[in-house]
Amino acid sequence: MLTAVCVYLGVFAIFATVVIVVIAKQLAEGKRLREQLAKYQHTYLYKSGWCYDVGNYLLFSPDGGISWHALNRNSGTGGLDILGTAEEIYPGLLNHLEGMEKLTAYVKKHGPIGAQGKITDSDLLMLSGAGLSVHSLK
């Protein structure tokens, strides 16, 4: 009887060890994949949309936003063609997009522009940074 208990305990110990090793490998793989995804999300960046000045645009940065390239979807191959640098193809677009991002962050922090019936100097600065201008209706 004691021998049977020892055998069962030995089998259980081996099984538990195998399970722990498998779980540890899965956790390590999950951590590696999360780190790889975070690096990918901060390195390979895309911006796409429509802007009244340029129409549809698709931009890609392979270096975390240091340089931006204009892309075009190739319907024949299903791939993407690099047209050139974003500034060459769409002059001023990146500055406009950056200004709009700053304006959005400003409004989230300070509330709607002109909500109190007046537009402050800092409001005007944020609007002009986004490529927008305000004209008085007086």
pLDDT for res 65: 87
Cβ burial of 72 (10 Å; 0-12, 13-18, 19+) is middle
pLDDT for the residue 2 = 64
Q: Which two tokens stand for residue 69?
A: 């390239």
* Residue 56 Cα distances to 78, 98, 112, 113, angstroms: 18, 17, 28, 28
Distance between CA atoms of residues 109 and 58, nearest Å: 29
Q: Which residues of the chain have pLDDT under 50?
A: none
70, 59 Cβ separation under 8 angstroms: yes
Q: Could you give the residue ranges of the DSSP H alpha helices within the chain?
A: 2-43, 86-89, 93-110, 121-129
Phi, psi of 62 (to 5 degrees): -85, 0
Q: Are 67 and 61 in contact, with CB atoms under 8 Å apart?
A: yes
Angle value at C-alpha 70, between 133 and 128, nearest 5 degrees: 10
pLDDT of 8 reads 78
Q: Please give the pLDDT value at position 118.
A: 78
Instruction: Output the pLDDT for position 137.
Output: 53
